[in-house]
Structure 1
Amino acid sequence: MKNYKRGRFARRILLGIVIFIGIVYLNRVSILQRIVALGSQSQLLNIDKQSNSLTQNDELVNLKYTGQTAVEINHNQPTFSQNDLQIKEGGWQKLSSLDWLGRPQVANALLNLKLMPPSQKYQTRERLTIKTPGYHAIKTGTNNTDWLYNRSHLIGYQFTGLNNEAKNLITGTRQLNADSRVNAKSMVTYETEIADYLHQSKNNYVRYQVTPIYKNVELVPRGVHMMAESNDKTLKFNVYVFNVQDGWTINYLNGNAERRE
């Protein structure tokens, strides 16, 4: 009888350990976020950070939104090297690996008409099924199409036809994707500019780079840094697009959001 009780007790302990490990695994991202966040508040860590010069990403993440969704960086001049602009290999795209939090990183491409997918009139686009970091289905209005977040492509679908790829999708507001205000600019503004240029000639190339900008361990980027330069230099830009939605307060750590009164 004693052996039976001991065995039952041991099984209960084992079950408890398994449940605990399962809970930790399912919540590993939020737990890791908290650990890193606490560490970042350390005085020693802050002193170390202050001793290093700010990177461009540090500067971008600290930019303040003042009502203009897209702002120019470096006087709108891209910073590609001559080697970056080589077109001898033809069109291509390269996506970075996800980081330890599962977040997409910088995406690079040399865009050309040959990479572009058939018109959706002839080929139906597959439905997006990837759950991007920090994504929540939050309605901003009564219409079923009025959602706070989109799953935003870094390299737009229209350029390469890449759709359900976790390395190429971030949680982005509708305003980041396509700001509907009069004369406002957003990602679609610059993507349309590139697409129009590429359609002009099969000999047109555009070196393109899109970088999501995260603050510390936040899952939702504060914005995206977009750079492009054509092989004939007639098209070029260097902009930062804020991942914001007017009238809403976003918790970039986990993607929760509240409407401002």
Structure 2
Amino acid sequence: VANDSLRVRQFINPTAWHSNRENGTQIYNRGHLIAYSVSAGIDQDGNYNPNNQSGDQNNPKNLFTQTAFSNQKIQTIFEGKVRNALKQGNKVIFQATPIFRGNELMARGINLQAISLSNNLNFNVYLFNVQPDYVFDYNNGRAKIDRNMVVNQ
């Protein structure tokens, strides 16, 4: 598990990235495919060094434009399950795949899959890249307020 005190400010702008706030509401995140907290020792090129206590932070291969809701409210639940399994000493296979349609620059969602060798962790989920009260043009990532956009929580 990565050392949070080594975290640095993110500066990479993934495809479809826009201003992070709309009327005071955070709607965009630089979403990590593999969470910072579970990526200790992985460098920008994907190489592993067990002496590196930092996680993968500004790697353009590991970031995508993700809604704050999808990242902070939903994906974090599954990342927590992976983190807990790792803390218990389990070996985990984890895969995160952003799902795009055609030439769109903003992912429609992300498919998360994980299994531990001890078999106490096993999931395969699809998370929609949506935000309550907003609709997105996935071609360019631009958001528009739409109070009819209801996301079940």
TM-score, normalised via structure 1 length: 0.49
Q: Which runs of 5+ in 2 are unaligned?
A: 40-54, 148-153
Aligned match of 1:174 in 68, 71, 91? Answer: 68
Q: Is residue 136 from structure 1 mapped to residue 18 from structure 2 by the alignment?
A: yes
Contact 1:138-1:147 within 8 A present in 2 as well: yes
Q: Is residue 260 from structure 1 mapped to residue 146 from structure 2 by the alignment?
A: yes
Question: 1-side partners of 2:6 and 2:97: how far apart?
Answer: 28
Question: 2-side partners of 1:138 and 1:239: how far apart?
Answer: 26
How much does 1:147 deviate? 1.4
How much does 1:140 deviate? 3.8
Aligned match of 2:114 in 228, 236, 239? Answer: 228
CA RMSD, 1 decimal: 1.2
How much does 1:124 deviate? 3.2
Contact 1:176-1:243 within 8 A present in 2 as well: yes
Number of the residue aligned with 1:209 = 95
Percent identity for Structure 1 against Structure 2: 36
Residues 250 and 197 of structure 1: CA distance in aligned 2, closer, same or farther (over 3 Å): same
Contact 2:12-2:59 within 8 A present in 1 as well: yes
Note the alpha carbon deviations across 1:173-192, whole angstroms, 9 max, x for none.
0111022xxxxxx1100000
Question: 1-side partners of 2:81 and 2:125: how far apart?
Answer: 13
Q: Which runs of 5+ in 1 are unaligned?
A: 1-115, 180-185
Contact 1:137-1:147 within 8 A present in 2 as well: no
Letter in 1 for 2:103: V
Note the alpha carbon deviations across 1:14-50, whole angstroms, 9 max, x for none.
xxxxxxxxxxxxxxxxxxxxxxxxxxxxxxxxxxxxx
Secondary structure class of the residue paired with 1:127 = coil
Question: 2-side partners of 1:124 and 1:206: how far apart?
Answer: 23
Contact 2:20-2:29 within 8 A present in 1 as well: no
Question: 1-side partners of 2:16 and 2:102: how far apart?
Answer: 14
Number of the residue aligned with 1:147 = 26
Question: 2-side partners of 1:258 and 1:229: how far apart?
Answer: 37
How much does 1:217 deviate? 0.3
Secondary structure class of the residue paired with 1:240 = strand
TM-score, normalised via structure 2 length: 0.82
Q: Is residue 117 from structure 1 mapped to residue 2 from structure 2 by the alignment?
A: yes
How much does 1:258 deviate? 0.5
Contact 2:27-2:67 within 8 A present in 1 as well: yes
Higher helix share: 1
Note the alpha carbon deviations across 1:215-238, whole angstroms, 9 max, x for none.
000000000000000001111000
Higher strand share: 2
Larger radius of gyration: 1
Number of the residue aligned with 1:187 = 75
Letter in 2 for 1:139: R
